[in-house]
């Protein structure tokens, strides 16, 4: 018993001293810069959350806690319709981009010819193209075809813009997967479709979840592409917020921003939980962050 207690205390002391040495070994500038980075990144978010519960109609003076701005937000039919529109656009764009992006990733990974490599290079162009250029191009394209700007044009533009993100993430997982696994499945009697369904797709499931999470988050709060391709009503939530801020700045915008932040946090939580349901130890965030 005494030996166990001594060993536990020694292990705790060693762990504490190791953490102290790791902190002391880091340059002061690096630690200070990291702390400043997180302060500048998260303090504005904390301020938005705090003032969303402000009892006063002020963006600079906090007068106490109240839920009046959330009540106003949930009773504003214009904001509610925009929220429903954004959720619908993000959901449909996520499904469409996942289907098309996954097929593109499979094709690029399975075909090693020179044209396939050229297509793979071209598929990366949307990742580096300024979004305003993509928005203007989409507007000119829809106008040239005579299509009326609506939620349909927004969905088409968002799916087209998001395919590259899905293809890059899924292809990264496919490149680390041995082709012998599918060959073994076919040797055991599976058809190509069965090998894809029962072997490949479960293996790349964290990549699919990561890609879906990323696309949903990008599309849900996207402004530039939605601004150029949306119609009059209902507008996506980001465009609606911009339109109202141009006229007057209401504290209800803080409530809207907090709700959008809650959606993002929920997506992160799902990305951590869902892969565990499939019996995997790695999460979607590990794939996105390179962990």
Can you give the three-state secondary structure of the chain, one letter per residue? CHHHHHHHHHHHHHHHHHHHHHHHCCCHHHHHHHHHHHHHHHHHHHHHHHHCCECCCCCCCCCCECCHHHHHHHHCHHHHHHHHHHHHHHHHHHHHHHHHHHHHHHHHHHCCCHHHHHHHHHCCHHHHCCHHHHHHHHHHHHHHHCCCCCHHHHHHHHHHHHHHHHHHHHHHHHHCCCCHHHHHHHHCCCCHHHHHHHHHHHHCHHHHHHHHHHHHHHHHCCCHHHHHHCCCCCCCHHHHHHHHHHHCCCCHHHHHHHHHHHHHHHHHHHHHHHHHHCCCCCCHHHHHHCC
Rounding to the nearest 10 degrees, give the CA dihedral for residues 34, 38, 41, 46: -170
Same domain, 168 and 267: yes
Integer-rounded Cα radius of gyration of the chain: 24
Residue 66 lies in a domain: no
Cis previous bond, 234, omega within 30: yes
Q: Return the pLDDT at 18.
A: 54
Q: Return the pLDDT at 286.
A: 57
Q: Return the pLDDT at 20.
A: 52
Q: What is the pLDDT along the chain (291 residues), one digit of tens a residue?
A: 444 544 455 455 555 555 554 545 567 777 888 888 888 888 888 888 888 888 887 777 777 888 888 888 888 888 888 889 999 999 999 999 999 999 888 888 777 767 767 777 777 777 788 888 889 999 999 999 888 888 999 999 999 989 988 988 888 888 777 666 777 777 677 777 777 777 788 888 878 888 888 888 889 888 899 999 998 778 888 888 888 777 766 777 888 888 878 887 787 777 667 666 655 555 555 555 555
Residue 111: φ, ψ to 5°: -105, 125
Same domain, 149 and 275: yes
Same domain, 121 and 14: no
Same domain, 45 and 84: no
List all residues 6 or more positions away from 67 whose beta carbon is below 8 Å from its beta carbon: 53
Same domain, 145 and 11: no
Same domain, 22 and 96: no
Residue 71 lies in a domain: no
Q: Return the pLDDT at 206.
A: 79
Report how far residue 275's alpha carbon sits from residue 213's, in angstroms, rounded to the nearest whole number: 12
Report how far residue 114's alpha carbon sits from residue 111's, in angstroms, rounded to the nearest whole number: 9
Q: Which structural domain, as residue segments, surrounds residue 27?
A: 2-51
pTM: 0.75
Same domain, 96 and 219: yes
- How many structural domains does the chain have? 2
Residue 200 lies in a domain: yes
Same domain, 149 and 257: yes
Same domain, 105 and 247: yes
Residue 108 lies in a domain: yes
Same domain, 141 and 12: no
Residue 62 lies in a domain: no
Residue 60 lies in a domain: no
Q: Return the pLDDT at 53.
A: 86
- CATH for 238: 1.10.3720.10
Same domain, 155 and 263: yes
Residue 69 lies in a domain: no
Same domain, 40 and 93: no
Residue 59 lies in a domain: no
């Amino acid at each position: 018993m005494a030996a166990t207690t001594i060993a536990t205390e020694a292990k705790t002391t060693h762990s504490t001293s190791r953490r102290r040495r790791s902190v002391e070994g880091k340059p002061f500038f690096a630690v200070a810069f990291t702390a400043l980075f997180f302060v500048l990144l998260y303090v504005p978010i904390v301020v938005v959350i705090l003032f969303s519960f402000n009892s006063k109609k002020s963006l600079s003076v906090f007068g106490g806690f109240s839920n009046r701005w959330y009540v106003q937000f949930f009773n504003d039919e214009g904001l509610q319709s925009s929220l429903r529109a954004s959720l619908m656009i993000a959901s449909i764009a996520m499904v469409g981009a996942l289907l098309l992006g996954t097929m593109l990733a499979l094709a690029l990974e399975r075909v090693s010819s020179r044209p396939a490599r050229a297509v793979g290079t071209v598929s990366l162009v949307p990742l580096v193209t300024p979004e305003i250029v993509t928005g203007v191009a989409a507007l000119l394209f829809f106008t040239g075809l005579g299509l009326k700007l609506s939620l349909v044009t927004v969905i088409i533009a968002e799916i087209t813009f998001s395919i590259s993100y899905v293809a890059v993430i899924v292809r990264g997982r496919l490149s680390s997967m041995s082709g012998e696994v599918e060959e073994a499945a076919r040797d055991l009697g599976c058809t190509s479709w069965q090998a894809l369904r029962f072997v490949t797709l479960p293996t790349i499931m964290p990549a699919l979840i990561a890609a879906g999470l990323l696309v949903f988050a990008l599309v849900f709060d996207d402004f530039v592409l939605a601004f150029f391709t949306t119609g009059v009503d209902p507008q996506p939530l980001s465009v609606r917020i911009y339109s109202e801020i141009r006229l007057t700045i209401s504290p209800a915008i803080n409530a809207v921003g907090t709700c959008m932040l809650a959606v993002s946090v929920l997506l992160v939580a799902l990305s951590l939980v869902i892969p565990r349901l499939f019996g995997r130890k790695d999460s979607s965030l590990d794939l996105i962050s390179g962990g």
